[in-house]
Amino acid sequence: MSARVLAGPPTAEALLRDAAQRAGRLPAVPHLAIVRVGEDPASVSYVRGKARKAGEVGLRSTVHVLPETASQAELLALIAALNTDDDVNGLLVQLPLPAHIAEAAVLHAIDPRKDVDGFHPLNVGELWAGRPSLTPCTPAGILFLLRHHAIPLSGTRAVIVGRSSLVGRPLAALLLEADATVTVAHSRTRDLGSVTRAADLLVVAVGQPGLITPDMVKPGATVIDVGINRVVDAQGKGHLVGDVHPDVAGVAGALTPVPGGVGPLTVAQLLANTVHAAELQAAGHLQS
Ligand code: NDP
């Protein structure tokens, strides 16, 4: 039997439709400001994709580019200006930053009410205190995907492989909020297969092609493959693959493909977060 495919693009469209409807009820079109430092090709491409998608769903976006040599003080001054600009609802700084800039200082500097990436310590704390507000996009997008496909969460055993601040940790908090029993595995986990085999819901966010093999998956489990890995085949052609071996499709009950699974949801959730930030600001939440 082959697993049901949890396709990302139509799910992302549903999330975007919902966000666009909510945006239509706001006093002004939500505005996302994106800051990029330097010309890292992946960052250039990600930022372009985010701005393009914002336009497609009728949100405003502006991209602010600083040179690779910009100082931390210059970046903080730009963030301060965008923080106090009432016309800007959402603000994100594309990561990674050049090595001479302290990422933590930058993430602290973003107004938590505009923090559409959900990385500010206040938003991280609210999430772990059981009051999620602006939450990191990939985990929030995964929750939307699971709910959209009516995957049961309450009382189920969820195992997340990977404990990054970007994916694994915030997803653990969101799944706890959804009443799952959550285990987080990582590179020091002993006998990973015995942990993953207990999962009704297995989420893998590691960055190692084929890490999860069929023998590590409980028959019928839902498997969410967050990994995005570039591999080159025998003909020298490049491909994107996930962390889950393709043969897992014969064991799992439902599975996200790579590409075309979690990826599209991340950008859609960013725009949903921008609308949410504008809603919070319109309602006067967290006024300083
Ligand atoms: P990180 O490198 O920050 O974290 C990887 C995690 O995997 C770490 O917690 C690490 O453990 C753990 N790990 C490494 N090796 C093993 C192993 N052999 N067994 C178990 N755990 C292991 O990665 P990210 O969380 O940022 O990203 C993970 C993957 O997801 C990447 O492929 C990335 O490209 C992809 N990604 C996809 C997104 C999307 O939109 N689809 C968005 C974000 C990421 P330890 O903490 O002990 O080092």
pLDDT of residue 287: 46
Catalytic residue among 94, 114, 115, 243: 94
Whole-number average pLDDT of the chain: 96
- Is 197 annotated as belonging to a binding site? no
**For the chain, domain boundaries:** 22-112, 136-264
Active-site residue 87, yes or no? no
Q: Does the C-beta of 160 come closer than 6 Å to ligand 1? A: no
Average pLDDT over residues 66-84: 98
pLDDT of residue 288: 46
- Give domain 136-264's CATH architecture: 3-Layer(aba) Sandwich (3.40)
**Mutational test site, ligand 1, from 53, 161, 206, 244, max ligand atoms within 8 Å of CB:** 206
Average pLDDT over residues 80-87: 97
- Distance between Cα 224 and ligand 1 center (Å): 13
Asked if the domains at 22-112 and 136-264 fall in one CATH topology, the answer is yes
pLDDT of residue 1: 67
Q: In which band, very low, low, confident or very high, does the pLDDT at 284 lie, cut at 50, 70 and 90?
A: confident
The 10s digit of each residue's pLDDT in 128-185 is 999 999 999 999 999 999 999 999 999 999 999 999 999 999 999 999 999 999 999 9
Q: Does the C-beta of 180 come closer than 6 Å to ligand 1? A: no
Average pLDDT over residues 14-31: 96
22-112: CATH topology is Rossmann fold (3.40.50)
pLDDT of residue 156: 98
Q: Does the C-beta of 263 come closer than 6 Å to ligand 1? A: yes
* % pLDDT > 70, the chain: 98
pLDDT of residue 285: 59
Active-site residue 281, yes or no? no
- Is 154 annotated as belonging to a binding site? no
Average pLDDT over residues 186-209: 98
Question: DSSP per residue over the chain, as a string?
Answer: --PEE--HHHHHHHHHHHHHHHHHTSSS--EEEEEEES--HHHHHHHHHHHHHHHHTT-EEEEEEE-TT--HHHHHHHHHHHHH-TT--EEEEPSSPPTTS-HHHHHHHS-GGGBTT--SHHHHHHHHTT---S--HHHHHHHHHHHHTT---TT-EEEEE---TTTHHHHHHHHHHTT-EEEEE-TT-SSHHHHHTT-SEEEE-S--TT-B-GGGS-TT-EEEE---EEEE-TTS-EEEE-SB-GGGGGT-SEE--SSSSHHHHHHHHHHHHHHHHHHHHHTTTT--
Assembly ipTM: 0.99
| Residue 286: pLDDT over 80 | no
- Distance between Cα 25 and ligand 1 center (Å): 37
pLDDT of residue 141: 98
Active-site residue 50, yes or no? yes
- Distance between Cα 173 and ligand 1 center (Å): 17
- Is 163 annotated as belonging to a binding site? yes
| Residue 96: pLDDT over 60 | yes
pLDDT of residue 108: 97
The 10s digit of each residue's pLDDT in 262-275 is 999 999 999 999 99
Average pLDDT over residues 76-94: 98
Catalytic residue among 115, 117, 200, 243: 117
